Amino acid sequence: MCEHKPLRVTVWNEFFHEQELPEIRAVYPNGIHECLRGFLEKEQDVAVTCVTLDMPHQGITEELLRNTDVLIWWSHARQDDVTDETVRLVKEAVLSGMGLIALHSAHYSKIMQALLGTTMTLHWKHGDREKLWCVNPTHPIARGVPACVDIPEEEMYGEAFDIPKPDDIIFIGWFASGYVFRSGVTFTRGLGRIFYFQPGHEEAPVYEHPHIQRIITNAVRWARPACRREAPPQNVEEK
């Protein structure tokens, strides 16, 4: 009943804004990835590896993914620099069972587009305030999270959000400027579980928020594969 094996999380961060812009560096001095690592490793059984876009192979190798239970992905300004080979490796790993958590502007990453098939487009505006409402209180990702989480500073993401129908809508975001958004949604693709979570614009320390940390921690546990294959399934002829 107790899972004693460590839960191996890899955080992939574009790590661009934090290096280029002093005001973002002030928010996340060591990068968003280190902030995520910081709270995830407070969990006794979680081990985090951080990789970034500028590393060799864009930080992604087959071996790393084979040893990753859940991949967290944060990307924004340099989505286009991610290579087809990186996308292929991540997609194969998800279809084989690896969990994927796409944060904030990673909705528009090539990997999310490749897995979900739609444009993943939305409406957006800087400088808003969000109230994140839970509409699925029995979902494991909502465990221990209050009915409403206040995020005083957040970029607005609004509908229409061009995603396939999610398996579950867990959170709906209310924005002071008059918009709503399906801010926390799950998908299954192949054997892999995917959670897209909208909060986390780089200009405010959203990932320091304890309830946001709780949600991401819950999501990591939820996305952990029960079974993992060597490779995605093939067509099989029965005799």
Site residues (CB under 8 A) for a second copy?
1-3, 43-45, 91, 95, 97, 108, 114-119, 121-125, 131, 133-135, 137-138, 140, 143, 147, 156, 158-162, 164-165, 167-169, 172-175, 177-180, 182, 187-193, 221, 225-227, 232-239
Phi, psi of 64 (to 5 degrees): -60, -45
Comparing CB distances to a second copy, the nearer of 29 and 117 is: 117
Least distance from a second copy to the Cβ atom of residue 230, Å: 14
In angstroms and rounded to an integer, the radius of gyration of the C-alpha atoms of the chain is 17
Residue 183 falls in which region: left (phi positive, over 0), alpha (psi -120 to 50) or beta: alpha
Least distance from a second copy to the Cβ atom of residue 22, Å: 24
Q: Is 107 helix (H, G, I), strand (E, B) or coil?
A: helix
Comparing CB distances to a second copy, the nearer of 25 and 189 is: 189
Contact 99, 118 (CB under 8 A): no
Least distance from a second copy to the Cβ atom of residue 199, Å: 15
Strand partners, 172: 133, 182
Least distance from a second copy to the Cβ atom of residue 29, Å: 29
CA 216 to chain CA centroid, Å, is 8
Comparing CB distances to a second copy, the nearer of 63 and 226 is: 226
